[in-house]
Chain A
Amino acid sequence: MKRIVLGLAMLALGAAAFPSCLAAQSDAAGLFKSKCVLCHAEDGSGNSPSGKALKAKDLRSPETQTKSDAELAEVISKGRNKMPAFAQKLKPDQIQQLVAYVRQLAKK
Chain B
Amino acid sequence: MKFQISAVSLSLLASALLFPNKSAAVPSYSRQTGLACSSCHYAPPELNAFGRKFKLEGYTFATKPEVSEDKEDRNSGLHLLEAFPLSFVFDTSFTSTKAPQSSTQNGNFEFPQAVSLFLAGAWGSHVGSFVQVTYDAQADHFSWDNTDIRAAGTNGKLFGKPLIYGLTFNNNPTVEDLWNSTPAWGFPFVSSNVAPGPSAGAVINGGLAQDVAGVGGYAMWNDHLYFAGTIYRSEHLGATQPNDGTCCGFNIRGMAPYWRLAYQTSSESNNFEIGTYGMHMKSTPGAITGLEDGYTDWAADFQFDHTIPQWKNDVLSIRGTYIRENSSLVASFTNGAADLVGHHLNTVQGEAEYHFGNRVSTTAGLFSVTGTADPTLYPTGPVTGNLNGSPASRGYILSVAWWPQQNIGLTAQYTGYTRFNGGSTSYDAAGRNADGNNSIYLMARFVF
Contacts and interface: CB of A to CB of B under 8 A. Distances in A.
Interface of A: 33-35, 37-39, 42, 48-50, 52-54, 79, 82, 84-86, 88-89
Given A85-B63, A89-B62, A89-B64, A50 B34 contact: no
B247 to A, nearest CB: 43
A46 to B, nearest CB: 11
A101 to B, nearest CB: 16
B65 A50 contact: no
A51 B63 CA distance: 17
Nearest to B264: A49
B161 to A, nearest CB: 10
Nearest to B57: A38
Contacts of B62: 89
A86 B162 CA distance: 25
B268 A88 contact: no
B53 interface: yes
Contact of A84 (B51, B52, B63, B264): B63
B48 interface: yes
Given A42-B162, A82-B35, A85-B34, A50 B52 contact: yes
A37 B156 CA distance: 13
B63 A88 contact: yes
B155 A88 contact: no
B9 interface: no
B63 A89 contact: yes
A37 B62 CA distance: 13
A84 B34 contact: yes
A52 B269 CA distance: 8
B271 A49 contact: yes
Contact of A50 (B33, B49, B63, B64): B49
B49 A52 contact: yes
Contacts, number: 58
A89 B62 CA distance: 8
A33 B63 contact: no
A12 B266 CA distance: 50
Given A38-B57, A52-B266, A89-B63, A82 B162 contact: no
B65 A88 contact: yes
B223 A49 contact: yes
B50 A84 contact: no
A38 B54 contact: yes
A54 B54 CA distance: 12
B59 to A, nearest CB: 12
B39 interface: yes
B154 interface: yes
Given A82-B39, A89-B65, A50 B155 contact: no
Contacts of A37: 154
A20 to B, nearest CB: 18
B212 to A, nearest CB: 30
A27 B104 CA distance: 66
Contacts of B441: none
18 contacts: A33-B155, A34-B154, A38-B53, A38-B54, A38-B57, A49-B50, A50-B50, A50-B54, A53-B271, A54-B39, A84-B33, A84-B34, A88-B63, A88-B64, A88-B65, A89-B64, A89-B65, A89-B66
B50 A54 contact: yes
Contacts of B49: 48-50, 52-53
Interface string B145-187: 0000000001100000010000000000000000000000000
Contacts of B223: 48-49
B427 interface: no
Interface string B49-93: 111111001000111111000000000000000000000000000
A84 B266 contact: no
A84 B57 CA distance: 17
Given A84-B63, A86-B63, 18 more contacts: A34-B125, A34-B154, A38-B54, A49-B49, A49-B50, A49-B53, A49-B271, A50-B52, A50-B53, A50-B54, A52-B49, A52-B267, A53-B48, A53-B51, A54-B50, A79-B34, A88-B64, A88-B65
B63 A49 contact: no
A100 to B, nearest CB: 20
A33 B239 CA distance: 45
A39 B35 CA distance: 12
A52 B344 CA distance: 42
A34 B154 CA distance: 8
A86 B51 CA distance: 19
